[in-house]
Amino acid sequence: MPALADESPNGNGHSPKGLPALTLGAIGVVYGDIGTSPLYAMREALRPVAKDGLAPAEILGVVSLLIWALIVVVTLKYVLFLLRADNRGEGGVLALYALTRLAIGRRSLPVLGLAILGAALFFGDALITPAISVLSAVEGITLVQPHFEGLVLPVTIGILLALFLVQSRGTAAISAAFGPITAIWFMTMGWLGFRQLLQHPEAFAAINPLYGISFLADHTAVAFIVLGAIFLAVTGAEALYADLGHFGRKPIRLAWFALVLPALTLNYLGQGALVLENPQALSNPFFFMVSPASLPFLVGLATIATVIAAQAVITGAFSMAQSAAHLGLMPRVAVRHTSESQTGQIYVPAVNWLLMLGVLALVLSFGTSEALASAYGIAVTGAMLVDTILFVIFIRCGWNASWLIVLLIGLPLAVIETTFLASNMGKIFDGGYVPVLIAAMIALAMVSWWRGTQNAEAAEARQLVSMQSFAESLLRSSVIEVPGTAFFLTPYPSVVPPAFLHNLKHNKVMHANNVILKVETLRIPVVAEEDRVELTPLNARFCTLTLRFGFMESPNVSRALGPARRAGLKFDVMTSTFFLGRRRIVPLSRRGWRRLTDRVFIAMLPFAADPSDYFHLPRDRVVELGSRMSM
């Protein structure tokens, strides 16, 4: 495969001097989710075959499937392949979509549809992950004291509530501890498994993939159900790719091979060894690996680890919402930066409160991690399959790989993940419909928003006249000029902005200097400062100014006007006014799908963040002028 543009030692521009710190940080953020899977994956995978007792071959077969799922899905697909497909250092389904579209060279509706589906499935998963992770850890207190069972739900709700309420204050201060704590968690898991293996080394035979293959061949009746549970072991793998921009390829790979994969493998082998010795331990094999005296420590550590995993998912949801808004797939959302030193530390109030309500509703509805496990997996499997399809398109169009290479990489991954998806479909009626329904609603909203904005902007462009000719005619007119500079925000700088026409019509004046301002979001994560500003004079009174931002950046117009001034734009902020157009859209009397998406789009308009806040405009210098438009 060809080398990527970024060939820094760690990938993504991170210096080798910070490799240990970045690796420790990756352990806490990237692997927090997948690190909590041993709490329930083994239990749920063995449950379908445990009704008539467990044979040693069945236990070894399930352990083998768990380990090889980690090797194939996580190691081969994400760690070795997908981490190479970075969009200027950034990863995730939307970064991969932007990369794929650039490789294709034109807009592709199927590729856009895949990106929307992947993002929607991510949000569906983001609701279940905090609920099942924290609930499964807190349930450990019933092993310490059985009469604590009535405290499981209140304690879980209290922890989740506190986690969401603290988001507005920022998590930069405590996130520094995520890496060390999660590293201790993985070392503890590895040690517990290793200790069990020393007592029953025969469980080490599960490393052989033939045990897993034989299990599937001999248990065709329940194979699909078991595979649905096996997939729980790899949930969270997509975080490796989504958090690529925060840490880089080398730290993520080093953390995986040096600590995470060995710890997970040892723990699953150790759980297998325990169940081989004592089949009764199947009810909770993870916590039964320690003595009763050590249970409080393990429950406490597990709870902290699950809170860290939930925090990583919440942060990922904030970043996904910001990127989707910048790419025009969601309404503009209010984003607050909670750290002066870490640009990735953001807070999106609307997403936070919606996630909180959804997570708490799931905990109260399902009640136990066992019940939630039946709803877990479908959204993640779908999101991973979307990653695979987009990656295959990219390596064909972007890396110009031969069809043979495409088939050798893509076909096995697609077959494995399609099998996992099909096995998870059996969970639909046991609660699996919840993330699917959530993802479907989010996908409908994203499609409606994208179609609505495209249609509205196209309708607006058809109604306007050329900016160049209009500017020339105004120089020869008798319109009264007032001192100062007027900025008119518009997506189409080549035509006259509606706000300019309304100002001219109602106020009968024109400013001495008029800047037609376009804020453009590119399909790259971050724009270099030298490419940020493009200033084009039209005549003595008019110019067009384009400010470019990456989809991972906050479009701060006020800050970008500094480089614009250095590029030649002359203005005094105290005598400047920013004019914004506000549209009131009225749907046409269409039927069917188009009518539905129009209605959804119009219903979403009030929830879009105020443009003056979104673009960081000086509030006391903003004037909004409204207009009515038919879709």
pLDDT band at 405 (very low <50, low <70, confident <90, very high): very high
Q: What pLDDT digit, counting tens, does each position of 169-219 carry?
A: 766 666 678 889 999 999 999 999 999 999 999 999 999 999 999 999 999
3-class state of residue 48 by DSSP: helix
Q: Name the DSSP class of 284.
A: S
Amino acid at 604: M
Compute the C-alpha angle 587/591/596, nearest 5°: 65
Structural domains in the chain, CATH included, are 21-451 (1.20.1740.10), 465-630 (no CATH)
pLDDT band at 495 (very low <50, low <70, confident <90, very high): confident
pLDDT over 90 (residue 167):
no
- Select the highest-mean-pLDDT range: 114-118, 139-143, 429-433, 578-582: 114-118
Span 236-263, average pLDDT: 89
Span 387-398, average pLDDT: 93
pLDDT band at 440 (very low <50, low <70, confident <90, very high): very high
Cα torsion for 475, 476, 482, 484, to the nearest 10°? 10
Q: What pLDDT digit, counting tens, does each position of 618-629 carry?
A: 888 899 887 666
What proportion of the chain, given as a percentage, has pLDDT over 90?
A: 47
Higher pLDDT residue, 273 or 599?
A: 273
Sort strands 336-337 and 346-347 into parallel, antiparallel or unpaired.
Answer: antiparallel
- The region, left, alpha or beta by phi > 0 then psi within -120 to 50, assigned to residue 88 is left
Amino acid at 101: R
3-class state of residue 277 by DSSP: helix
Cα torsion for 44, 49, 50, 53, to the nearest 10°? -160
Q: What pLDDT digit, counting tens, does each position of 270-322 carry?
A: 999 999 999 989 989 999 999 989 999 999 999 999 998 888 888 888 888 88
Cβ of 269: how many Cβ atoms within 10 Å?
A: 26
Looking at residue 6, its pLDDT comes to 38
pLDDT band at 395 (very low <50, low <70, confident <90, very high): very high
Question: Could you tell me the end-to-end alpha-carbon distance of the chain, in angstroms, rounded to an integer?
Answer: 46
Q: What DSSP line would sit under 90-138, residue for residue?
A: B-SHHHHHHHHHHHHTS--HHHHHHHHHHHHHHHHHHHHHHHHHHHHHH
Q: Please report, for residues 135, 214, 244, 479, the alpha-carbon distance to residue 29 in angstroms, rounded to integers and kept in the order given.
A: 20, 36, 11, 59
pLDDT band at 265 (very low <50, low <70, confident <90, very high): very high
Looking at residue 175, its pLDDT comes to 67
Residue 289: closest CA among 43, 27, 33: 43
Range with lowest mean pLDDT among 222-226, 398-402, 626-630:
626-630
Looking at residue 73, its pLDDT comes to 94
- The region, left, alpha or beta by phi > 0 then psi within -120 to 50, assigned to residue 372 is alpha
Cβ of 428: how many Cβ atoms within 10 Å?
A: 14
Spatial separation of the C-alpha atoms in residues 188 and 11, rounded to whole Å: 30
What are 218's two structure tokens? Answer: 């001999």
Spatial separation of the C-alpha atoms in residues 335 and 355, rounded to whole Å: 16
Structural contact between residues 575 and 484, judged by C-beta atoms closer than 8 angstroms: yes
Q: At what angle do helices 109-138 and 152-165 cross, to 10 degrees?
A: 130
What proportion of the chain, given as a percentage, has pLDDT over 70?
A: 92
Structural contact between residues 240 and 256, judged by C-beta atoms closer than 8 angstroms: yes
pLDDT over 70 (residue 7):
no
Structural contact between residues 31 and 78, judged by C-beta atoms closer than 8 angstroms: no
Q: What pLDDT digit, counting tens, does each position of 547-559 carry?
A: 999 887 889 999 9
pLDDT over 50 (residue 248):
yes
pLDDT band at 4 (very low <50, low <70, confident <90, very high): very low
Spatial separation of the C-alpha atoms in residues 231 and 233, rounded to whole Å: 5
Edge-first strand listing for the sheet containing 533-537: 533-537, 542-550, 509-522, 480-489, 576-586, 622-630
pLDDT band at 631 (very low <50, low <70, confident <90, very high): low
Spatial separation of the C-alpha atoms in residues 625 and 500, rounded to whole Å: 9
Looking at residue 549, its pLDDT comes to 92
Structural contact between residues 99 and 394, judged by C-beta atoms closer than 8 angstroms: yes
Q: Which residues are CB-neighbours of 407 under 8 A, at least 6 positions away?
A: none
Q: What pLDDT digit, counting tens, does each position of 20-38 carry?
A: 888 988 898 889 889 999 9
pLDDT over 50 (residue 17):
no
Average pLDDT, the chain: 87
Q: What pLDDT digit, counting tens, does each position of 335-377 carry?
A: 777 665 555 567 888 899 999 999 999 999 999 888 888 778 8
Q: What DSSP line would sit under 299-351, residue for residue?
A: HHHHHHHHHHHHHHHHHHHHHHHHHHHHTTSS-----EE--SS-TT-EE-HHH
Looking at residue 11, its pLDDT comes to 47
- Residues 297, 298, 304, 308: is their CA dihedral positive or negative? positive
